[in-house]
Amino acid sequence: MSLGSELRPAVVVVGGSRGIGKAIATVAARQGGPVVLVARSHDSLLAAATEVQEAGGEAFTLDLDLFSAGASLRLEAFLQENRLYCDVLVNSAGYGLRGAATTLPIGEQLGIIDVNVRALSELTLRFLPGMLARRRGGVLNLGSIAGFTPGPNMALYYASKSFVRSFSDALHEELRHAGVTVTCVAPGPVETEFLDRSGAGRAMLFKVLPRADAVDVAESAWRGFKAGRRLVVPGVSAKLTAFVASILPTAVLLPLIGRLQRRGNDPCPCGSGAKYKNCCGKGWLSRIAPGG
């Protein structure tokens, strides 16, 4: 079979039903051509497809749960059935959980690794060989400024984003002379459902940092990807935060982030069942933040 000659190139947005993924799909749709939206929520996918069409793209939707076995193979089969190939892969599916790791459900925490790390890696590795054979296209992975530091009280999420940044950086270097781009976009807080769903929106850190608009982040991410950049940190505030995180000593950064992501009413990580502020955090909290 000739490589890609009978098939049409598609932008495949995993996590395209809402938020940053949907915004990137809409920006990508302006170039015309097929855009494949992948996520679990059927109705949200259909709504996103309408926006993609209005922006000038030809929308396809696939209801797919990344937790399910063989998800990347199902996506590959869907593309074949529709006479498409994955020219650009956008990995935007992801979630986080705020709270001390010892107090959060283990299954939901491990799910962060399944979606943010395992599925992202599997999709990337599944579609890169075709891109390399055609010497075009690439992968746009959603990292975060959370990938620049460990994040107490959101430990697995920060660790997952650190992985995304490291994995994407390494692939970018391996492939940069092969006609394929791998870009990591690392936004600060973005106004999407992510903040409420993860519980992060209730933490001081996410109240202090300004929230970017998903479309602005998408424009910046798509521009950076098209320019072949390794890392895109959209907006001044996210750049500043990433810079501060990279220069502050870990011994200073860890308690600072831990404090800004903890709420006094959170359950104590020691497992007593009491609130943190009435248990291990008693003396510490009253010294740092009276009434906290």
Which are the catalytic amino acids? 157
Q: Is residue 40 a contact point for ligand NAP (CB under 6 A)?
A: yes
CA–CA gap between residue 67 and residue 291 (Å, rounded): 42
| Using rule CB under 6 A, residue 67 touches ligand NAP | yes
Cross-strand bridge partners of residue 89: 12, 139
Distance of closest approach, residue 194 Cβ to ligand NAP, in angstroms = 3
The DSSP call for residue 190 is B
**Least separation in angstroms between CB 34 and ligand NAP:** 18
Cβ of residue 291: shortest distance to ligand NAP, in angstroms? Answer: 28
Q: Please identify, using beta-carbon distances, which residue of 75 and 285 lies nearer to ligand NAP.
A: 75
Task: Determine contact, residues 94/115, Cβ cutoff 8 Å.
Answer: yes
Q: Which residues partner with 33 through β-bridges?
A: none
158 binds ligand NAP, rule: CB under 6 A: no
Near ligand NAP by CB under 6 A: residue from 27, 39, 131, 159: 39
Q: Counting contacts by CB under 6 A, is residue 261 touching ligand NAP?
A: no
CB atoms under 10 Å from CB of 2, counted, come to 6
Is there binding between residue 193 and ligand NAP (CB under 6 A)?
yes
197 forms part of the interface with ligand NAP (CB under 6 A): yes
**Toward ligand NAP, which CB reaches closer, 16 or 137?**
16
Residue 138 sits in the site that holds ligand NAP (CB under 6 A): no
Cβ-contact 180, 165 below 8 angstroms:
no
Residue among 130 and 187 whose Cβ is closer to ligand NAP: 187
Is 39 in contact with 45 (CB distance < 8 Å)? yes
Among 66, 75, 79, 184, binds ligand NAP (CB under 6 A): 66
Does 250 bind ligand NAP (CB under 6 A)? Our answer is no
Phi and psi for 219 in degrees, rounded to 5? -60, -45
Q: Under rule CB under 6 A, how many of the chain's residues touch ligand NAP?
A: 30
- Footprint on residues 80-99 left by ligand NAP (CB under 6 A): 92-96
Spatial separation of the C-alpha atoms in residues 126 and 72, rounded to whole Å? 7
Strand order in the sheet with 58-63: 58-63, 34-39, 8-14, 84-91, 138-142, 181-185, 231-232
Cα gap 161→112, rounded to integer Å: 10
Exactly one of 7, 62, 156, 195 binds ligand NAP (CB under 6 A); that residue is: 195
27 binds ligand NAP (CB under 6 A): no
